[in-house]
Each structure stands twice: as structure tokens, then as C-alpha cells.
Amino acid sequence: MITHTEIVSLSVGSIDIGERLRVVDQDYVGLLAASIEESGLMQPIEVGKKTAKGRYPLIAGAHRLNAFMVLGWSQIPAVVVTANKLQAEMRQIDENLVRRELTPLDRATFLARRKELHEAIHPQARHGGDRRSDQVAKTGDLISRFTSEVSAKLDLSERSIQRAIARFTKIAPDVRERIATTWIAGRGAILDGLAKETPEMQRLLVAEMLFVRKPARSLGEAIARVRGPSIMEALDVDEKSFAALMRAWRGASQRVRDRFVEHVNGQAGEAAQVDEVA
């Protein structure tokens, strides 16, 4: 069970940020610092209980804490939360998930990690019963319960939660790291497209979209560059050319048609003569 204390004032230097699932955006920190300087801190940060070394592990509020550092302020309002390690990390994730500035990639990262924590807190979600049929039934029920729980808490559809988790699990870790702070992280459709490709293809496509001189402006353009025009695309070009030719034929006068036929026959005759010589 998670419990809270009253709001206390803590030394900024006594708080350990630790590893975060989400990269701290320094541009956002700058905006937040300006807002805090003008209007004050609207919501205290959350920290865990003091450790044996006298440190407070940060649970929620990395951007707010960094904003205080930018301002040079030594004390920050905080709520001390009593929770075990898994509960604390899940709280950090939920606190981030309800924020609207998350990119689709951020949201995918948090939801995937939350699913892992859910399985750690509820081991039966991963292991199930003794019999395989029991295991499948229980695991399916708990996965469904997980998506239902998160859906209700975060006002997200279960389908969008499953899609977000797929984005995280199917995009290679090094690819996720490379695109985390780029425009690609904010394009859900591109993330879905990348998730359907092999890791090697993902790397090639991302390289095209982040190419310095002339980046591909979409996933489709990147695919065209990497794979080249497909056979179907080539056939489409032929079909369009034929259709254009037929439109011109139908719109031409009889005199122009006769001239065209004469030209085509002349070209065919020249080709036949060349074949005979050869």
C-alpha cells in the first residue's frame, strides 16, 4: 500500500534522480523554470523515504527538479511516499502517462514498462496455473485486466494501449534510442510502420528519415529510397502512360490519327529492316 506524508521542503542536492525511462527535455525544463519563477511550483515533486545514506530517491518530477536546478533554488516542496521499489516505479510511470506532452514513443515506453511491473507484482500474469490450459486462461485474463485497469485510469482505449506496447516491443532498442528526441518519436503512424519491419530495415529507414542533407519526409518515401520502385509501381506507370495515349487518340482528329498510324508503321518498317541486316 502506498502512503503519503505532508508536503515537506527538501534540499535539491539530497534528491537522487536515478535512471528514467523518459529523457529529460532541457527545452521543456527551460520553459518550466520560467513558469515556476513567475508563478511558483503548482505541484510538489514526489520522493521515496530517506535511504540509509540520507538520500531521497525521486519518484515523480524530474523536469520540475531540473527546473529548480536551473533557477539555482536550493529547496523544493516534496511529498514523501512510502512504497516499495516496484510500486514507486509504477507510480512514476502513471504520473508521466497522464501528462499530455508525452510523445507516442514516450507513451509506448511507459506502457511497456508498466506491463512488466504489473507482471512482476502479479506473477501469475506470466506463469499461470499448473496445467497449460489453466495458464493460458489465467494469463489471458490478467493481460486483459492489465489493459482494462490502465484504460480506466488513463482514459485510453484498450486497443491504443496494445498498439503502444507493440510499438515498444517490436522496434529495436537501438532504433528507439536513436529516434527518442527526434520528430519521428511524435509520429504514431511512422512508429507503427517501423514496428512491422525487421530491425535492420528499421535502421535503414530511420537513417533515410534523419539524413542530414536531404531527409525522407515520410516513411513511404524512406521505403521507396531503400527498396526502390516496386514492380507494381512500374506497372502503374505503364498503365498511366497507356491511358494518356488513349485519351490523346480519342481527342485527335482523323487527320492526326492517320498521320500517327503512318508514323508508327514507318517506325515498324525501319525496325524490320534493321533486323534483316542484323
CATH code assigned at 42: 3.90.1530.10
Judge whether 13 lies within some domain: yes
Using CA atoms, how far apart are residues 196 and 121, in angstroms rounded to an integer? 30
At residue 112, φ and ψ (nearest 5 deg) are -65, -45
Judge whether 91 lies within some domain: no
Angstrom CA distances, 127 to 24, 110, 111, 117, 166, stand at 35, 23, 20, 14, 21
271 forms beta bridges with: none
Farthest-apart Cα atoms in the chain, separation: 100
Closest C-alpha to 178, from 199, 215, 207: 207
Q: How many CB atoms lie within 10 A of CB 214?
A: 8
Closest C-alpha to 92, from 192, 16, 159: 16
The number of folded domains in the chain is 1
Judge whether 98 lies within some domain: no
Judge whether 5 lies within some domain: yes
143 close to 125: Cβ distance less than 8 angstroms: yes
Cell 492526326 maps to which residue? 256
Judge whether 157 lies within some domain: no
Residue-range definition of the domain harbouring residue 13: 1-83
Judge whether 278 lies within some domain: no
Judge whether 43 lies within some domain: yes
At residue 3, φ and ψ (nearest 5 deg) are -125, 160
Judge whether 257 lies within some domain: no
pLDDT at 130: 46
75 forms beta bridges with: 11
Given a cut of 50, the residues of the chain with pLDDT beneath it are: 1, 127-142, 231-232, 272-278
Cell 537513417 maps to which residue? 207
Crossing angle of helices 188-195 and 104-121, in 10° steps, is: 60
Question: What's the whole-model pTM score?
Answer: 0.49
Helix (H) or strand (E) holding 7: strand 3-11
